[in-house]
Chains A and B, each alone.
Chain A
Amino acid sequence: MNLTPSQWAALLPLIIPALGACLIPLMALDKDQATAKWIRAAMYGTALLAVGASFWYLTNLWNTGGQPSFFQLRMDRLAQFTGIFVLVAAALAILQSWDHFHQEGWVKGETLSLLLFSVTGMILFASTTHFVALFLGLELFSIPLYAMVGTVRARTESSEGGMKYFLTGAVASSCFLMGGVLIYGMSGSLDLSAAAFTIKAQGLALDPLVLVGAALLLVGFLFKVSAAPFHQWTPDAYEASPHPVAGFMSVATKGVALIALLRVFPGSFGPLGAVGVKMQAVVAVLAMVTLVLGNLTALVQSNVKRMLAYSSISHAGYLLLGLVAGTPAAYHGMLFYLVIYLAMNMGAFGLLTAFGLVGEKTTFDDLRGLGWKRPAMGVAGAIFMLSLAGIPPMGGFYGKYMIFRELVGTGHVGMAILGVLASLVSAYYYLRLLVALFLQAPSAEAERLASDRPAVHAPLAGATVLVCAVIVLAGGFLQTFLADGFARRALVDGLGLLR
């Protein structure tokens, strides 16, 4: 098969990480990676190289403005945005996992291979409207994630969480598949944009089967976004998985699912006005439920990872509010929010690694007094928490601001009020982390244990935390650069919105 250069250009960002993923398991074929540190380092290096190369390629593509495509795989600006987003999250996760897996005493380079496959799937998922490719992407990024959740087999909770995630995820995937099948059955087209035109031309937009199909597709997306009532897997899976993997899942899965949702619902199904209106109503209700449930449940968590899991559920609620507003500016806000969310959540999970908390020892009590012991990490932690709570001048405030502004602008004042009340509630549990970091002295027991153990050494995780803190602050002070230079162009050139 002969591919034109443009087709190669569209495929390369996917091929590079996939190639890396294939290479990594081969490296440790006849070596014992548990004893040979250099082989572990080589595996990590390869993974970083693959991510870096793909990132470099995509940023080049972004700068030249090219939007190549390979049949239904369209590497347009939105897909490039997603690619850069996912690759940055993956790079941060890889760096953090070096430290985290060493702390856990369970270093397996193959995890990175799974991560890279997942990255490939994510980029694919967000760059197409062809149903088969879409489903392929969904499974390609989900299945490695199921395995990654349970990767530290030494912990029993770990495989339990992985199993739970896998079973629920399989149900969601089958819903997604069924939805696609119904749409295909009604339209005879696998490409969702073409299907939408056919359905519209035949006047079937309000046919129950079309509605059920669209709803099932939506279920698949909402599961990955972890919106209520499809959120129950989130806390268990995050708690079970290694911190960097939890961070990566919370950021990349949510982000990619939302971007694909944008591409399919307002994008491809745009012509089907009636379907869009109905789905918007559903999303509105679910977003509110998500906000209430996520925030209230987060209040009572004693484990930081579970708190962050519920916080990530509630952030799904804010992001979905952007979909409810349904204006191009609101989508713009969502993408900006995602960029900041990437930094603050990867940072928050990275903090756990940087403090050297392993296993189940991730309660608020385990963090007591650490802010004063490690001032740079403490300040970064404060930045992440305040940003997650949406306090200016952090970047998180601007994300919420853009979404709420569009909500109010489109007349959803009541939902905006609910949203701000939810973020008031959220401030309380984010403050709890600050209370633990700065306002509480460590217990005598913890002091004694800490003096017995060697000092925590996590330079890579620490560096990623600082990078994330800088991004969050940049989002607060240079918001136009990120919002207009990056998020906006993705929408303008990618979806043809916001002209």
Chain B
Amino acid sequence: MTWLTSHPLSFLVFAPALLGFVILALPHALGRLSRMLGFMGALAFFALSLAWLLGHGGAVVTERAAWFTLVGLPVDYALTVDGLNLWLVLLTTFLVPLTMLGTWNSLKDRIGTFAALFLMLETGMLGALMAQDLFFFYLFWEAMLIPMYFMIGVWGGDERRYAANKFFLYTLGGSLLWLVALLYLANKAGGFNPTLMGQAASALPFGVQCWLFIAFAVAFAIKVPLFPLHTWLPDAHVQAPTAGSVILAGVLLKLGGYGFIRFAIPMFPQAAMHYAKPLALLSVIAIVYGALVAMVQRDIKKLVAYSSVSHMGFVMLGLASFTVIGTQGAMLQMLNHGVSTGALFLLVGMIYDRAHTRMIADFGGVVTKMPVFTTFFLIVTLSSIGLPLTNGFVGEFWILNGTFLSGFHWGRLYACLATSGVLLGAVYMLWMFKRVFWGPENKDEDSGTHHLHSDLNAREIAVLLPLVVLIVWMGVHPKTFVAASEAPVTALLQDAKAPAPRTFVLRPAVHEAPAHAQPAPEGHAEPAAHEVHR
């Protein structure tokens, strides 16, 4: 027990994989027991993470020790939970058991192996989120691919092999080039400590810094995924089994954005600032393009996948704005997207398990068959659109606000363009919703609607309820989820010497005007006010 209290993070990171190996060793016939064991374990890890991490009130928890030194470069075993990753860690530990429960009966064969891989994936994700040494981070970042590869490849749809290979190679390609950059910088810094590497980077010529930043950015942007590096995502999402899609959208994509805010931006502030405009431009393209492509999809899951491209575009736009409110919005939007899109994929999985089709045209009038399901779907849809009082609104509003106010000259234009993405989001989601749920019941014998015999059962409602609670909670009182990251984000932008945001005043008089001149988001005016004073 004493080891546990002094190494909570190590336990959280590695216990899932250990449990996974135990489950993997169980005989094939014990699949149901394995699944139960995996779920109980994941639930326990969630409970422990809540107790340990929230117990500290968001204070920094660190474990650091020298691990090994190879070819002259020391590698640290360093895990940290601080304001930047606290909620992402909790989101991960939360989504894993929830997804297991939500897809309880979706898979028919090799359920024990799936549970084992899922737990190993949890280790990879938690390790990548917590690692504070870039080599250590790289190990988790790459190792994460292995379970996901098998999850897509073994339990996926018809094109699963293509999708799994594409996912694996795409991500590997980005991170291998990044590895070269990492080695180059580690060579200058004499180690993989991000702080030392950042210092070494600042001593390099600006051109070199830019190249290094690009290598970092490409590796992370593939994961986000940022236009035009997003092409693996629709394939992977559509082919992956429901649980895989939920985790892919819920956590794996976040790691890209998290990589930017944790490593790429703090280590190369000047280069990041230099490339803020292209990054923001690509984000705006992703927002609008993702929304437009989502609009014409015939497969609900593919539509949700493209909506992910659009929503993650917002995250990148918020980061590229280099304002506190925009970055905080990006942090929140990452959580939002994890909850809302995760819920959407779960819902799509639930209807797919019943109807064995995901084509929009196969449905119609679902509301008459499944009223409870429709209610949940509507709430999640509205959250995804960004209706006020739901989480989507707050995140997108802050991001657009931050972009509009940012010190960059392009801020206002891009904010306006990105706002059209919100509008388009409402169009594709509501249009899809209308075609699937409203209207006359699809009487065709082969249609999906015809095969819907039962509404949600208690298990499924138990899965969706916490998500809906979170959606509302994050929409009404987002401070719970962003308070921890405010200080680190502010410090980060200060260190980066981000251009001061513009202030808009109604009167030319300067004194004490800004505080109320700025539109403050509902329930959380502090970051905005803080921003203006800086």
Contact = CB atoms under 8 A, between A and B. Distances in A.
A424 B169 contact: yes
Contacts of B143: 391-393
B367 interface: no
Nearest to B184: A408
B58 to A, nearest CB: 30
Contacts of B168: 427, 431
Nearest to B180: A416
B183 A480 contact: no
Contacts of A332: 71
Q: Which of B73, B146, B186: most chain A CB closer than 10 A?
A: B146
Contacts of B183: 401, 404-405, 408-409, 416
A405 B73 contact: yes
Interface string B126-148: 00000000000011001101100
A241 B447 CA distance: 57
A431 B165 contact: yes
Contacts of A434: 149, 153
Interface-central residue, A375, A408, A417, by most chain B CB under 10 Å? A408
Contacts of A329: 71-72
Interface stretch (A67-75, A250-258, A273-281, A435-443): A435-443
B180 A435 contact: no
Given A438-B153, A439-B160, A392 B139 contact: yes
Scoring A391, A398, A421, A438 by chain B CB atoms within 10 A of each residue's CB, the highest score goes to A391
Interface string A374-397: 010001001000100001110001
Interface string A428-461: 1001001100111000000000000000000000
B161 A435 contact: yes
Interface in A437-492: 438-440, 479-480, 483
Interface string B403-415: 0000000000000
Contacts of B483: none
Interface in A309-338: 329-330, 332-333
Contact of B179 (A330, A404, A428): A404
Contacts of A428: 165, 169
Contacts of A171: none
Contacts of A402: 70-71
Given A435-B153, A438-B154, A391 B172 contact: yes
Contacts of B24: 379
B168 to A, nearest CB: 6
A490 to B, nearest CB: 15
A142 interface: no
A420 B71 contact: no
A434 B153 CA distance: 10
Contact of A408 (B72, B145, B180): B180
Contact of A405 (B68, B172, B177, B187): B187
A421 B142 CA distance: 15
Interface in B159-185: 160-161, 164-165, 168-169, 172-173, 176-177, 179-180, 183-184
A406 B71 contact: yes
A413 B72 contact: no
Nearest to A410: B187
A344 to B, nearest CB: 15
Contacts of B71: 329-330, 332-333, 402, 405-406
A284 to B, nearest CB: 17
Given A416-B183, A420-B180, A479 B68 contact: yes
B180 A427 contact: no
Contacts of B169: 424, 427-428, 431
Given A391-B146, A392-B142, A392-B143, A480 B180 contact: no
Interface of A: 329-330, 332-333, 372, 375, 379, 382, 386, 391-393, 397-398, 401-402, 404-406, 408-409, 413, 416-417, 420-421, 423-424, 427-428, 431, 434-435, 438-440, 479-480, 483
